[in-house]
């Protein structure tokens, strides 16, 4: 029996922090998860939800604050839930993210992790311990996102737009988001104000009425080009030209305005049809010296500054000399592939979304990069087929979605025996699971966490693995 009941008020010590950023407290041995509580704090909470082995509680009062606690600068921090770590000083966020990675490698992967600091500046780690480097953070961890997807809705007869309150579909109206590029905020402000004035109706999710569902913005960090995507339930937008004119007048960097039509009753943001309204249908951006075209629908990393650091590390881990054959699995629009191609003999990229591969091919061509081959399909099917065709990679890079790699792919990698594998991951749990399997043929040498998403609980890592018979 849990020692607490819903509604009960108790004082607890917080001893841990989950990777979602919630504090973990214990009351008479029973675990309580408390959003916004930090390690080392004593807090007063109200129990809100009780399960057999754990419960959730709301923070009422901080009795003894952590020295790492900071005042979150965002006025809607409490209600949003997007930035679950804003109340923790940035250096501590970075240490926390390294710890999350290390914990997963130990618990799920069964690895021994070297003490923090081992492996740094050439110092060797003991035995077969995995080196997890300190998280690489941002010098300026605000305003870093290059893409915003803002839901529009109706409240008290007016048009609002911002974000969904945590675990709900109630829209909280905001005029700025501190992790978004300023241009995104400016676009959203002018669209909201102008739409309301022109009688462009907001979408009502419950009734499935109204026109404007979402405003999506994309910003080319290096070029300054801005794309605006208006997602509507139908094609006709009243006084469309006036809306376009207002956006262009107020946000001079806008080079592309497109409309996407989504008539469905769904949570999915984009519909099938995209039509250009003004300007180009893509914006351009650079990662290193490679130029990418980004369309309304294509996937592109959201933190351009840290992406460059992540890819540099990945390139370094790949250890290329110019003679290697490389496979880039889960290649998206070819970002990592084209980055690696500059230092490899040939790169094969595979990705399941056909449009992304079309973008990848176009990006290769535009950059005059000829030593790449892209294929559409599931990595776990295409790569074994490549093996049958006699393609023998020296290095395989994988960058799977959150659910990690398909086991068939890991098996294929073990059979193809590339000298080196580099694993880029956005989910330490599935990473640890997959590394455990790869460890039958490979040594996990080092892991580099990169903070792609400051103030949120997410962490990205790149990992270097060497084939067992090549290391002693």
Which residue numbers are catalytic? 426
Residue 88 tokens read as: 């923790």
350 lines the binding site for ligand SAH (CB under 6 A)? yes
Q: Pull the structure tokens for residue 170.
A: 């109630």
CB of residue 125 to ligand SAH, shortest distance in Å: 28
Task: Kindly indicate which of the ranges 19-27, 163-171, 179-187, 349-357 contains the residues binding ligand SAH, using the contact rule CB under 6 A.
Answer: 349-357
Cβ neighbours around 415 below 10 Å, total: 10
Position 351 contacts ligand SAH (CB under 6 A): yes
Sign of the C-alpha dihedral, residues 77, 81, 83, 84?
positive
Burial-class residue 41 by CB neighbours within 10 Å (0-12, 13-18, 19+). Answer: buried
| C-beta closer to ligand SAH: residue 208 or 402 | 402
Cα–Cα distance, 186 to 292 (Å, whole number): 24
Q: Which residue, 353 or 443, has its beta carbon nearer to ligand SAH?
A: 353
User: 462 with 448: CB under 8 angstroms?
Assistant: yes
The token pair that represents 329 in the structure block: 């699995």
How far is 369 from 354, CA to CA, in rounded Å? Answer: 20
The rounded distance, in Å, linking the Cα atoms of 142 and 140 is 6
Residues 364 and 338: their CA atoms lie apart, in Å, by: 7
CB 211 within 8 A of CB 191: no
* Nearest distance from C-beta of residue 317 to ligand SAH, angstroms: 14
Q: Which of 44, 52, 3 is nearest to 23 (CA)?
A: 44
C-beta of 23 vs 418, nearer to ligand SAH: 418
Helix (H) or strand (E) holding 339: helix 335-341
Query: Shortest approach of ligand SAH to residue 432 CB, angstroms?
Result: 18
| Residue 299 makes contact with ligand SAH by CB under 6 A | yes
254-261 and 226-232: which strand pairing? parallel
User: Per CB under 6 A, does 331 bind ligand SAH?
Assistant: yes
Question: How far is it, in rounded angstroms, from Cα 357 to Cα 83?
Answer: 32
The helix, strand and coil proportions of the chain, stated in percent and rounded to the nearest 5, come to 25, 35, 40
Question: Considering beta carbons, is residue 196 or 378 the nearer one to ligand SAH?
Answer: 378
* Binding range to ligand SAH, per CB under 6 A, among 73-81, 258-266, 350-358, 458-466: 350-358
302 near ligand SAH, rule: CB under 6 A: no
Strand order in the sheet with 254-261: 171-173, 158-164, 147-155, 212-219, 226-232, 254-261, 273-279
Sign of torsion over alpha carbons 273, 277, 281, 286: negative
Residue 360 touching ligand SAH (CB under 6 A): no
Per-residue binder mask for ligand SAH (CB under 6 A), 394-423, x = binder: -----xxx----x-----------------
Q: Do the bridges between strand 30-35 and strand 254-261 make them parallel or antiparallel, or are there none, so unpaired?
A: unpaired
Tokens coding 240: 């469309």
Nearer to ligand SAH, 161 or 404 (CB): 404
For position 352 contacting ligand SAH by CB under 6 A, the verdict is: yes
3-class state of residue 13 by DSSP:
strand
Q: Which of 86, 301, 363, 448 binds ligand SAH (CB under 6 A)?
A: 301
Stretch that binds ligand SAH, among 9-17, 154-162, 246-254, 326-334 (CB under 6 A): 326-334
Angle subtended at Cα 300 by Cα 296 and Cα 304, rounded to the nearest 5 degrees: 125
List CB contacts of 76: < 8 A, sequence separation 6 or more: 162, 163, 172, 174
Q: Which is nearer to ligand SAH, 79 or 297 (CB)?
A: 297
Pick between residue 255 and residue 301 the one whose CB is nearest to ligand SAH.
Answer: 301
Q: What is the token pair recorded at 433?
A: 């699971």
Q: Does 347 bind ligand SAH (CB under 6 A)?
A: no
Rounded least distance, CB 311 to ligand SAH, Å:
8
DSSP 8-state secondary structure symbol assigned to residue 26: E
Q: Of 60 and 353, which has the nearer Cβ to ligand SAH?
A: 353
Options 302, 353, 369, 443; binder of ligand SAH; rule CB under 6 A: 353
CB 462 to ligand SAH: min, Å: 11
Work out whether 330 is an interface residue with ligand SAH (CB under 6 A). Answer: yes
Say whether residue 171 binds ligand SAH (CB under 6 A).
no
Least separation in angstroms between CB 316 and ligand SAH: 16
Is position 326 an interface residue for ligand SAH (rule: CB under 6 A)?
A: no
Closer to ligand SAH by CB, 136 or 353: give it: 353
Does residue 150 interact with ligand SAH by CB under 6 A? no
Q: Minimum distance between the CB of residue 377 and ligand SAH, rounded to whole angstroms?
A: 7
Q: Which residue in 86, 335, 425, 427 binds ligand SAH (CB under 6 A)?
A: 335
Within residues 52-71, the interface with ligand SAH by CB under 6 A covers none
373 burial (CB, 10 Å; 0-12 / 13-18 / 19+) is middle
Binding mask 438-467 for ligand SAH (x = CB under 6 A): ------------------------------
Query: Contact residues for ligand SAH (CB under 6 A)?
Result: 299, 301, 330-332, 335-336, 350-353, 356, 378-380, 399-401, 406
């Amino acid at each position: 029996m849990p020692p607490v009941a819903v509604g009960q008020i108790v004082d607890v010590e917080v001893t841990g922090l989950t990777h979602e950023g919630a504090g973990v407290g214990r009351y008479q041995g029973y675990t309580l998860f408390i959003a916004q509580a930090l390690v080392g704090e004593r807090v007063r909470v109200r129990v809100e939800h009780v399960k057999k082995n754990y419960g959730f509680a709301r923070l009422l009062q901080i009795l003894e604050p952590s020295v790492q606690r900071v005042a979150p600068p965002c006025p809607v921090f409490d209600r949003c839930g997007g930035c679950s770590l804003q109340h923790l000083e940035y250096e501590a966020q970075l240490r926390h993210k390294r710890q999350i990675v290390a914990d997963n490698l130990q618990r799920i992967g069964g690895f021994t992790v070297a003490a923090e600091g081992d492996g740094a500046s050439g110092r060797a780690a003991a035995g077969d311990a995995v080196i997890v480097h300190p998280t690489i953070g941002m010098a300026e961890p605000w305003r870093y996102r290059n893409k915003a997807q803002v839901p529009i809705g109706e409240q008290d007869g007016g048009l609002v737009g911002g974000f969904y309150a945590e675990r709900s579909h109630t829209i909280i109206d905001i005029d700025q988001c501190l992790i978004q590029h300023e241009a995104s905020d400016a676009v959203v402000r002018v669209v909201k104000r102008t739409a309301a004035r022109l009688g462009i109706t907001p979408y009502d999710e419950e009734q499935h009425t109204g026109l404007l569902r979402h405003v999506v913005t994309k910003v080319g960090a290096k070029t300054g080009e801005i794309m605006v995507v208006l997602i509507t339930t139908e094609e006709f937008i009243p006084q469309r030209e006036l809306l376009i004119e207002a956006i262009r007048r107020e946000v001079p960097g806008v080079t592309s305005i497109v409309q996407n039509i989504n008539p469905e009753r769904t949570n999915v943001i984009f519909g099938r049809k995209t039509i250009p309204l003004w300007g180009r249908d893509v914006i351009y951006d650079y990662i290193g010296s490679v130029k990418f075209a980004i369309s309304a629908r294509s996937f592109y990393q959201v933190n351009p500054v840290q992406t460059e650091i992540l890819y540099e590390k990945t390139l370094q881990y790949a250890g290329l000399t110019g003679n290697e054959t490389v496979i880039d699995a889960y290649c998206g629009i070819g970002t990592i592939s084209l980055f690696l191609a500059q230092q490899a003999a040939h790169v094969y990229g595979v990705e399941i979304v056909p449009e992304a591969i079309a973008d990848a091919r176009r990006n290769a061509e535009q950059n005059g990069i000829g030593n790449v081959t892209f294929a559409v399909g599931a990595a776990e099917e295409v790569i074994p087929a490549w093996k049958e065709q006699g393609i023998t990679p020296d290095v395989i890079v994988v960058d799977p979605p959150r659910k990690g790699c398909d086991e068939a792919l890991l098996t294929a990698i073990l059979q193809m025996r590339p000298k080196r594998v580099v694993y880029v991951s956005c989910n330490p749990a599935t990473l640890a699971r997959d590394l455990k399997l790869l460890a039958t043929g490979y040594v996990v040498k080092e892991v580099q966490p990169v903070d792609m998403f400051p103030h949120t609980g997410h962490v990205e890592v790149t990992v270097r693995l060497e084939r067992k018979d090549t290391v002693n």
